[in-house]
Every structure is written in structure tokens, then in C-alpha cells.
Amino acid sequence: MENVWKTITTWLTENSVTEFVELNAGVTENEIKALEEIINTKLPQDFINFYKIHNGQTAYADYGLIDFQELLSFERIAEIWSGWNDVLNGATVDNTSNPESGIKDNWWNPLWIPVTASADGDVICIDLDPAEEGTKGQIIEVYHDDDIRILAANSFTEWIKRYAEKFEHGKMVFSESFGITDKETLKLMEEEAE
């Protein structure tokens, strides 16, 4: 995980955007225990190792680090997780979705732990309660206004290494209008904005 962070932070420094993403210092053992108590489960070790270097971003930093989305701190993970659970607990509709293979057909599952969040409420989660054909710890995309649930990677390590490789291979770009994303996505967004 040190190499992953080194790749990302080197790119941020070289592109003069470090101040816009505002990374926190690493998570403490007390913060790990506190979050695990809130979510009532153990977090995967690769995820903890990643967060021991940087505990996500400062809440509401100027730009999200992960494709426009905020890389959540442990405090924000608890906040976003609680918000989704509150919606689920107060829901008057079925808790069902239309997931890809390996993901349970829940609208929301308390064992989906948010890692990122967009401004409009979409989240990328570690799935600690996969369907039978899934993998515990897989990464899924959850949309607040759509029942689609997408499998993004089989593990946190796979997902974050793949993302870091985009920085390493020159596929990422910073735009003051849109933030940090890959060049192809930025091109599409600029075309839509015209």
C-alpha cells in the first residue's frame, strides 16, 4: 500500500493539486476499533493498511481523489454508512436492487462499507456480505437513485492498485471544472458540457 500511495501522491505533487484533495494523516488503532464497533464487523486488512498511511481526505475537500468522489475518512465512512442505514430503516419500499453477479440484490446492505462518496450520494463500497458467487471484500458501486449495483473489483487491493496504475501510466488528468479523473472520462464530460 505504500507504493500505491507513493504513486498517487507523486502525481498529486507533480500536478500541483495536493492542496485541493487535502489528505489526512493515517488512521489510528483507536479509530479502527471505533469504526469496527459502529459497523459491527472487522474491516479487511488490506483496507486498514491503506488507511494507516492516509485516513482519506479532509471532509468536503475541493476535489475528490477517486474519479470526482471523496475518498472517505473513517469519520466520514461512519457518517455515510449511518445515513444509508437510516434510509433503509425508514424505507417503505422493498430493499431490492438489480445487481451484477456476485452482489446480493439489496438496495442497501449494512455490510456494504462506503469507501468513496459523490456529491449526489453515490458510493463505492467494500462488500462484506457478497452473494454466493461473489468474494468477501469485493468492491461495488452503489447508486442512490438507481437500482443497478456494479462489481468494480474482486478486492480492495485489486481496485486501488488498478486506480493507482492510471496515475502511473499517465492516464489521469486534473481539470479545475471537473477535478481528477482519467482523460477519456474528462473528454466525455467536456463534450456533454458543450
Higher-pLDDT residue of 180, 194: 180
Contact in structure between 185 and 67 (CB atoms under 8 Å): yes
Phi, psi of 133 (to 5 degrees): -90, 0
C-alpha cell at 53: 498511511
Task: Look up residue 166 and give its DSSP letter.
Answer: H
Tens digit of each residue's pLDDT (9 = 90 or more) over 20-41? 999 999 999 999 999 999 999 9
Hey, which CATH number is domain 2-193, 3.10.20.90, 1.10.275.10, 3.40.1580.10, 3.90.1150.150? 3.40.1580.10
The residues, ordered by sequence, that sit 6+ positions from 55 with a Cβ below 8 Å of its Cβ are: 24, 25, 26, 27, 31, 73, 74
pLDDT at 47 over 60: yes
The alpha carbon torsion through 64, 154, 45, 8 (nearest 10 deg) reads -30
CA 65 remoteness from chain centre: 9
Tens digit of each residue's pLDDT (9 = 90 or more) over 98-150? 999 999 999 999 999 999 999 889 999 999 999 999 999 999 999 988 999 99
Measuring CA to CA, which residue among 76, 77, 129, 78 is closest to residue 103?
Answer: 129
Measuring CA to CA, which residue among 3, 50, 17, 7 is closest to residue 168?
Answer: 7
pTM above 0.85, yes or no: yes
